[in-house]
Structure 1
Amino acid sequence: MSETVIQHTFEAPNVFTQEELGWEAWLPPLPLEELTDRHYDGLVDRGRANSPYFRLLVRDPDILGARTRTDNDIFYNEKGGLTRALRELSATAASRTNGCIFCASVHSRFASHKSKRPEDVQRLLDEGTSARQDDPQWRAVIDASVALTRIPDEFGPEHVRALRDAGLDDVAIIDAINGAAFFNWANRLMLSLGEPTPPAEKR
């Protein structure tokens, strides 16, 4: 039985960054020319066909479709609840905790852009989730996200109380929980299927 050996011409990033990284699958993504209408329905956004990650997941288009619609609702449905900046911060904190360099790079960029606070986001990446954050909402969202990510049983009434004391209502608190829970799973899926690659100009 023949074996496929993946030979890298790059050194995988090992530092958390806000740079735009690439990603390489350890299993073969579905080739673009093999995508059918059913696959594009599963991708939801046709532009995702350019991503090797989504072309790998689209081998099961029904599950990917459910996953993508859930992802979109968590991050883009802003009819009340948590602000987009705090949703991205929650995903960044989960990704930092799980060691998912690629996801952390994506969501830290969004958190920086939406909050206009790139230094605070970079401090989280550089020093970890326990790094100083003077904003009570940021502190509460980060702490709740970390607790849910490490061991869900660590999340308890004290985290809900901190979120509420920071001025978040019930819908915003549910958003924080959903975002962290989703990304705890999404990080682990991505970490098991491939690895980040350096920015294109550094390969």
Structure 2
Amino acid sequence: MKPRLDYFPKAPDQMKGLLAFNRSVEDSGLERGLLHLVKLRASQINGCSFCVDMHSREAREDGETEQRLHLVAAWRESPLFTPRERAALAWTEAVTRISEGGVPDDLFAATREHFPDAELVRLTMAVSVINVWNRLSVSFRAIHPVAEQPSGRAE
């Protein structure tokens, strides 16, 4: 697979705005580890290999364990996530899949138990910005760095 388009230089003003939005999410006060989980889960749902690769690497660099990273896709069945992380992951899934039924009232209420109003807005912004990055990367086929051959074994 080859990239379709290098989108950064094609819309520099919009990319500067997106980078500023992204920075504001990073600086929002939400825990860095929580943001990694949100980015990774949304990227998995959206099938964005570039972002799954990048955010799993960044999470490991910040101390996240391999086991938890492997289990993000199956977080409901794993005891390794805190109630706050579970709330964020459920919210991430609903907001990412918003066309499949919106965000149910019971999920909103359950998420508010772990995220006060201002944090819930910040969490929603975090989900929103990673969805923008996913859509750009998938649409224009951003390619993650290749460290392994298709056989699955590193060279």
- Normalising to structure 2: TM-score of the pair? 0.79
Asked if residue 136 in structure 1 is aligned to residue 83 in structure 2, the reply is yes
- How far is 1:150 from its partner? 1.0
- How far is 1:69 from its partner? 0.8
In terms of Rg, which structure is larger? Answer: 1
- Normalising to structure 1: TM-score of the pair? 0.63
Q: How does 1:46-57 map to 2 (within 5 A)?
A: 56-57=7-8
Q: Which residue of the partner structure matches residue 15 of structure 2?
A: 64
Q: Distance in 1 between matches of 2:33 and 2:147?
A: 27
Q: Which residue of the partner structure matches residue 152 of structure 2?
A: none
The equivalent position to 2:140 in structure 1, one of 193, 196, 203, is 193
Distance 1:117 1:173, change over 3 A: farther
Q: Which residue of the partner structure matches residue 162 of structure 1?
A: 110
Backbone CA RMSD of aligned residues: 2.5
Which secondary structure does the structure 2 equivalent of 1:57 belong to?
Answer: coil
Q: Which residue of the partner structure matches residue 176 of structure 1?
A: 123
Q: How does 1:31-180 map to 2 (within 5 A)?
A: 56-75=7-26, 77-78=27-28, 80=29, 82-114=30-62, 116-125=64-73, 128=74, 130-133=76-79, 134-151=81-98, 153-166=101-114, 168-180=115-127
1:129–1:146 Cα contact (<8 Å) kept: no
Q: Distance in 2 between matches of 1:146 and 1:129?
A: 11
Distance 1:149 1:201, change over 3 A: closer
Q: Distance in 2 between matches of 1:115 and 1:172?
A: 23
Which secondary structure does the structure 1 equivalent of 2:133 belong to?
Answer: helix
Q: Distance in 2 between matches of 1:121 and 1:201?
A: 19
- Which structure 2 residue ranges, 5 or more long, are not aligned? 150-154
Q: Deviations over 1:164-203 (max 9, x none)?
A: 323x322221121111122222212210101435524648
Identity %: 25
2:92–2:127 Cα contact (<8 Å) kept: yes
